[in-house]
């Protein structure tokens, strides 16, 4: 059998050689790949021996054109050397089939639909029970399919446009500095900044906007296994992942978000009043938001401050299952970001504390409320953690219940408090370095477990989506992106 001219059609020749290596068992493959290669080689043999009589003919010019053009496309994220995308032999073989084989009778391509499955070891995947935030609420990864909505790291809603087959992979645990653990395959990709890139970015901050270095990218796409092999730089943690932007949302609340947040912290179950320390300031705020309330004229003053009576909220609270329980509802995570921020402000102004350097803490004896606040803060682009607050025997809480503490730092222009005494403690920045806008990858553990996984392709601007209830950005599979762009820009539909 004749070979393809490697000087005239180098990438077609690479794909052709891949098929020869498969059938000769130089490359180990499953029966489906072997079958595909045998079918291709048979078509090629018939065409090369009788080009005019063959039902299917090869247009190597078109196939080579595609393989040349798509490999001139550049990676849109990261600092790559070389910057352009490089196809492996199996990819050249795949698109040699799709682009290069035509039906003589119809003039159309032989293959109008292509189903490509990536072999084990090349998968970028999550375990099926991994949590993922969506505009419809928190879901398990197994619930995600083509058409599902996710979030990109820019906070905007994106859609799943492709999904790889479910297959078993070795589980790798990616441990982040905030305590989050994400389970993936070894080939799953993340957008990280390493120590060198962060240092370079720090040096370039002082440069004028016209300086060439201001266009540099200080992050790159890296596989989990690659990160595992470069966890530290000297004694420092090497890889970090930037926080997401606040995610978008939909819908509305049955009552003012700030008031609801405050009531969840300092309101009384089954009652229509709140115990308030900053009564005058808060009553004025509530009234401006449409809440009918006033400071109680009762001579008894709550140990937490004045008691504020609120009218007209009993029925809506009861109808929404709020009055008898202070449970955080997951549906609140899907609200527009302005409402979520107001909800967080109410929670912080009631049961929260802001330190002198802008560190924010929230305390609650209700686990679901504390966990909800952690997720709420993460959905707004903060890096929030939760731990257990040990309560000593003689304490100001006057309770022996376990308390949970949520911690995060609110730097920049976003204010997570309305109360003046708390808001004044928020700071825009602290020092020359910031650690609050990123999570560090502390460890990657390759376990002995093997679990079913799959990955998706999304239509977000930078091919990212968020994973886990910590809203951590990660990278998707680019299964057909280059092909789609080629067909759209350069090729006819035939």
Q: What are the pLDDT digits (tens) for 34-84?
A: 899 999 999 999 999 998 889 999 999 999 999 998 888 875 644 444 567
What's the confidence (pLDDT) of residue 45? 93
Which whole number is the average pLDDT over 99-108? 92
Of 173, 129, 126, the closest CA to residue 446 belongs to 173
Quick one: pLDDT band at residue 377, thresholds 50, 70, 90? very high
Q: How far is it, in rounded angstroms, from Cα 158 to Cα 464?
A: 9
Q: Is 191's pLDDT higher than 50?
A: yes
Between 29 and 42, the more confident residue is 42
Chain-wide mean pLDDT for the chain?
Answer: 84
pLDDT, tens digit (0-9, with 9 covering 90-100), for 116-144: 765 444 556 899 999 999 999 999 999 99
- Separation CA 154–CA 159 (nearest Å): 14
Please, are residues 375 and 387 in contact by the beta-carbon 8 Å criterion? no
Higher local confidence (pLDDT), 328 or 429: 328
pLDDT band at residue 182, thresholds of 50, 70 and 90?
Answer: very high
What pLDDT does 80 receive?
A: 46
Q: What average pLDDT score do residues 239-244 get? A: 95
For 480, the token pair is 């057909």
Give the span between the Cα atoms of 360 and 358, in whole angstroms.
6
Residue 144, CA distances (Å) to 127, 164, 388 in order: 12, 11, 33
Residues in the chain: 494
pLDDT value at 258 more than 60: yes
| pLDDT of 265 above 90 | no
Report how far residue 222's alpha carbon sits from residue 236's, in angstroms, rounded to the nearest whole number. 18
Packing angle between helix 337-351 and helix 367-379, nearest 10 degrees? 130
pLDDT confidence bin for 365, thresholds 50/70/90: confident
d(CA 151, CA 132): 9
164 or 113: whose pLDDT is higher? 113
pTM of the full structure: 0.72
Residues of the chain above pLDDT 70, percent: 83
* pLDDT value at residue 303: 53
Q: Where does the pLDDT of residue 273 fall: very low under 50, low under 70, confident under 90, or very high at 90 and above?
A: low
What's the pLDDT score for residue 427?
A: 73
CA distances from 277 to 196, 249, 297, 301 (A): 49, 32, 15, 10
* Residue 407: predicted pLDDT: 94
Instruction: Report residue 443's pLDDT band, with 50, 70 and 90 as the boundaries.
Output: very high
The pLDDT of 108-115, averaged and rounded, is: 86
Q: What is the pLDDT of residues 284-310, one digit of tens each?
A: 898 899 888 877 766 454 555 677 778
The predicted pLDDT at position 471 comes to 97
Helix axes 481-489, 60-70, angle to 10 degrees: 120
Between 481 and 325, the higher pLDDT residue:
325
- Strand duo 131-134 + 137-140: pairing: antiparallel
Interatomic CA distance for residues 410 and 359, integer angstroms: 7
* 418 contacts 343 by C-beta, under 8 angstroms: no
pLDDT reading at 324 higher than 90: no
CA dihedral 468, 484, 60, 68 (to 10 degrees): -70
């Amino acid at each position: 059998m004749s070979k393809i001219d490697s000087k005239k059609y180098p990438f077609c020749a690479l794909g052709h050689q891949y098929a020869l290596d498969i059938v000769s068992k130089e490359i180990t493959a499953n029966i489906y790949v072997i079958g595909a290669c045998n079918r291709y080689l048979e078509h090629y043999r018939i065409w090369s021996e009788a080009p005019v009589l063959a039902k299917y003919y090869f247009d190597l010019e078109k196939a080579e054109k595609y393989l040349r053009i798509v490999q001139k496309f550049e990676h849109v994220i990261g600092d790559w050397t070389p910057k352009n995308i490089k196809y492996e032999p199996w990819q050249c073989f795949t698109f040699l089939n799709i682009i290069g084989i035509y039906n003589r009778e119809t003039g159309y391509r032989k293959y109008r639909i292509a189903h490509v499955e990536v072999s084990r070891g090349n998968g970028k995947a999550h375990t099926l029970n991994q949590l993922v935030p969506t505009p419809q609420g928190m879901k398990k990864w197994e619930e995600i399919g083509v058409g599902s909505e996710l979030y990109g790291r820019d906070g905007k809603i994106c859609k799943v446009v492709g999904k790889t087959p479910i297959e078993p992979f070795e589980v790798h645990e990616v441990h982040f500095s905030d305590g989050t653990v994400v389970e993936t395959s070894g080939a799953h990709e993340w957008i990280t900044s390493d120590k060198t890139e962060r240092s370079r970015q720090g040096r370039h901050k002082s440069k004028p906007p016209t300086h060439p270095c201001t266009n540099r990218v200080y992050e790159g796409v890296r596989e989990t296994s690659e990160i595992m092999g470069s966890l530290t730089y000297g004694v420092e943690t090497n890889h970090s992942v930037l926080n997401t932007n606040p995610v978008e949302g939909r819908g509305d609340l049955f009552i003012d978000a700030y008031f609801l947040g405050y009531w969840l912290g300092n309101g009384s179950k089954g009652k229509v009043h709140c115990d308030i320390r900053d009564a005058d300031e808060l009553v004025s705020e509530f009234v401006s938001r449409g809440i009918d309330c006033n400071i109680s004229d009762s001579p008894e003053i709550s140990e937490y401050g004045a008691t504020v009576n609120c009218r007209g909220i009993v029925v809506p609270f009861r109808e929404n299952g709020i009055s008898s329980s202070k449970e955080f509802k997951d549906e609140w995570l899907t609200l527009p970001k302005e409402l979520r921020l107001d909800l967080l402000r109410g929670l912080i102004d009631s049961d929260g504390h802001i330190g002198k350097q802008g560190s924010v803490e929230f305390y609650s004896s209700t686990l679901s409320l504390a966990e909800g606040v952690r997720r709420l803060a993460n959905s707004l682009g903060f890096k929030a953690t939760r731990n257990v607050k040990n309560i000593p025997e003689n304490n100001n809480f006057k309770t022996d219940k376990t308390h949970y503490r949520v911690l995060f730092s609110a730097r920049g222009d976003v204010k997570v408090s309305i109360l003046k005494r708390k808001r004044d403690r928020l700071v825009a920045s602290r020092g020359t370095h910031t650690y609050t806008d990123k999570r560090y990858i502390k460890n990657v553990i390759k376990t002995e477990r093997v679990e079913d996984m799959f990955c998706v392709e999304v239509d977000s601007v930078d091919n990212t989506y968020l994973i886990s209830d910590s809203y951590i950005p990660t990278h998707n599979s680019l299964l057909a992106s280059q092909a789609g762009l080629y067909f759209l820009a350069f090729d006819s539909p035939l």
